[in-house]
Amino acid sequence: MQYDISAIIEGYAQGYFLMANDGEDSLGWYSSHQRALIPLDQRFHYPRSLQRFLNQNRFQVAINRDFEAVIQGCADRENTWISGELKRIYRLLNSQGWAYSFETWEGDRLAGGILGIAIGGAFIGESMFFNIPNGSKVAMVKLVEHLRKRDFVLFDAQMTNPHLERFGAFIISKNQYNQLLSKALKRKCFFADNSPRTFNDSQ
């Protein structure tokens, strides 16, 4: 099956996201009246217990070291919206420099990871998982540090939950989100050095 990557990136750039209904392979574009963000400023925080763990430097960070394993890890749950077709789209987006896996490793073992799409100065988090306790939490902290260094202005978590709220996740309206997304798309930010893409590259 052929996919129009430009149309897919344009959909995300308009504030929509792809999702499959549980148990179905067909995809649809979705939006919401509210959006959850992970703060990239001083509002970002995490539990003190995690700071002690971070001080141990137990995990190493990597980008796209095992993109496929992160996709599978994110989809491997009882109720998943990451269908087979969406996996294929993520792989294609990754091959063209739009989708990334931000990973933590303990030696040769994948500890956890975050799957997302980078467009301009926006990082759209799709899902996250862990194999080792604290694997995804450390990935979250290190990803925020990475986005700050790369001058990103938006970390979209789409929908919040108690886990994300521990990191300062907050809700904004659809209008506020669209304004911030528009600002982010004008940024020329590179998530990784080896495959830099900007929003204009999809046009």
pTM of the model: 0.92
DSSP codes, the chain: ----HHHHHHHHHTT-EEEE-TT---EEEE--SEEEE--SSTT----HHHHHHHHTT--EEEESTTHHHHHHHHH-SSS----HHHHHHHHHHHHTTSEEEEEEEETTEEEEEEEEEEETTEEEEEEEEESSTTHHHHHHHHHHHHHHHTT--EEEEES--HHHHTTT-EEEEHHHHHHHHHHHHTS---SSTTS---GGGG-
Domain count, the chain: 1
Give the domain range for residue 195.
5-202
CATH number of the domain where residue 10 is located: 3.40.630.70
Please give the chain's pLDDT, 203 residues, in tens. 678 999 999 999 999 999 887 656 678 898 889 999 999 999 999 988 999 999 999 999 999 999 999 999 999 987 778 888 999 999 999 999 999 999 999 999 999 999 999 999 999 999 999 999 999 999 999 999 999 999 999 999 998 889 899 999 999 999 999 999 999 999 999 999 865 555 555 54
